[in-house]
Amino acid sequence: MSVLPKLLPVRVYGDAMLRMKALPVRNFDEKLQKIVRDMTHTMYERDGVGLAANQVGLNQRLFVIDMDYSREDSEPNPVVMINPVIKAGEGEYEMEEGCLSVPGIYAKVKRFNRIKYSYFDPAGEEHEEEAEGYKAVVIQHEYDHLNGILFVDKISKLALLKIKRKLKMIMSTAVDGKNIREDIYDPNVPKKG
């Protein structure tokens, strides 16, 4: 019997979970497989290119990415990275970034242009790879999530001043350190419930 993947609620700016350093995944079991299915489904349904476990309230070192997918002209090809480690980085690459957990906000971020990294796949197999350009940026963005870092933490002071009001508006919907929203695309829509 096949179980349909679940659309997970996404934590947004102001949620304490986004600032926690995630814990290593220890068990590569059916529970992990379900988490991976649900996270992948949520990433695609929310039109993201990546999603880290703490963005959906799970304190685990894993994320899923798919930089090439679009509903119109490509098939899904997700890459799941469990217990990733960025081992080296070089060069500089600057591009505008956004995030499902910081809805409606985009800013330029400088990151390494080329990285060397390792991770485990859902079967527990270890991989050592290199990436550059856009793929390297996406991996670094998601890896930062696992360390409690958001892209807005890496932008210039001037850029931060420009978005400070929007960040406060998003954060104002947090209750008891939690900020979970179904309407992640419009920070002006009040939180349900």
Predicted pLDDT of residue 109: 97
Predicted pLDDT of residue 38: 96
Active site includes 142?
Answer: yes
> Which of the 8 DSSP states describes residue 76?
-
Q: What is the pLDDT of residues 4-40, one digit of tens each?
A: 899 999 999 999 999 999 999 999 999 999 999 999 9
May I ask the CATH architecture of the domain 10-179? Alpha-Beta Complex (3.90)
Pull the structure tokens for residue 7: 């659309």
The model carries a pTM of 0.90
Q: What is the pLDDT of residues 112-133, one digit of tens each?
A: 999 999 999 999 999 999 999 9
Question: How many other β-carbons are positioned within 10 Å of the β-carbon of residue 178?
Answer: 14
Gap between the Cα atoms of 143 and 161, Å rounded? 25
- Residue entry with tokens 């900020």: 179
* Nearest alpha-carbon partner for 44 in 18, 59, 65: 65
Q: Is 106:114 a contact under the CB 8 Å cutoff?
A: no
Q: What is the pLDDT of residues 50-102, one digit of tens each?
A: 999 999 999 999 999 998 876 677 788 899 999 999 999 999 999 999 999 99
The domains of the chain are located at: 10-179
Which one from 30, 45, 129, 142 is the annotated catalytic residue?
A: 142
Task: At 190, give phi and psi (nearest 5°).
Answer: -60, 150
